[in-house]
Amino acid sequence: MAETGFWAVVPSKDLRRAKQRLAPVLAPAERSGLARAMLEDVLSALASVHGLAGLLLVTTDGELARLARTFGARLVLETDGRGVTAAVTAGMQTLATEQATGMLIVPADVPLITAAEIDSILAAHGPAPAVTLAPAVVDGGSNALACSPVDAIPFRFGPESFRRHREAARQHGIEPGVVRLPGLARDIDRPEDLGRFVARPSPTRAYAYLEERGIVARLRAMPQDRPFTTSALRDAS
């Protein structure tokens, strides 16, 4: 049973099929390893936030059960694998049944997230009914969404989700709060995102993974006139 309070929900794909858009620059095992390292960064930050009642990891990957336990998270298996919105909805339904006060949705690919940023979202979140959004720096995404009650609005993850979540909140009579946070705003989904991430060392598991396997050096060696293309990757190898 969930404790009454604010819960974090992290949707995660099967790591073996994660980060397909990084295929031009990372091999399958490297994509899987990076996805796991980023997920660990996210879970570690959330686990250290005292204002959260608990943490749910929603995934189709049953092999993540041990990782969830490492960070004190509950695992919710989403068997259909129908995407982020379906995974978040599964988490919401679990928390609604258990009468949780609210939920904070955070993606699994924001390794620069910090506990202080999560505290900022919780501090900015008003009394229910309330919605607070943290936008992505590119692509118009929602890199965090806090809502109370947990079913305050329908979830609309995907292209332009920040705008669509803001519209959904207003349609339900809620003026959403917006917080802009530099670490949380930067997800790693495309080769360009990865290039920006490796350009600046960080004390994250994701950066350590990339550095230990020589991927940082490999990416930095790519020709500047054609970065992050399949041919550039071949030439730099």
CATH (domain of 134): 3.90.550.10
Q: Rounded mean pLDDT of the chain?
A: 91
pLDDT for 203 beyond 70: yes
Question: Does some domain include residue 185?
Answer: no
Question: Does some domain include residue 34?
Answer: yes
The per-residue pLDDT for range 8-54, each reduced to its tens digit, is 999 998 898 899 999 999 999 999 999 999 999 999 999 999 999 99
Domain range for 163 is 6-178
* Same-domain status, 153 and 222: no
Q: How far is the CA of 66 from the CAs of 38, 39, 74, 75, 155, in angstroms?
A: 16, 13, 10, 9, 28
* Same-domain status, 198 and 160: no
Question: Does some domain include residue 74?
Answer: yes
The per-residue pLDDT for range 44-57, each reduced to its tens digit, is 999 999 999 999 99
* Same-domain status, 157 and 195: no
pLDDT for 68 beyond 60: yes
Task: Give pLDDT, residue 235.
Answer: 42
The residue among 85, 96, 78, 87 whose CA lies nearest residue 150 is: 96
Q: How many domains does the chain have?
A: 2
Beta-sheet strands, E only, within 28-129: 54-59, 74-77, 102-105
The residue among 121, 107, 135 whose CA lies nearest residue 42 is: 107
Query: Do residues 128 and 152 touch, judged by C-beta distance below 8 A?
Result: yes
Under the banding of pLDDT at 50, 70 and 90, the label for residue 132 is: very high
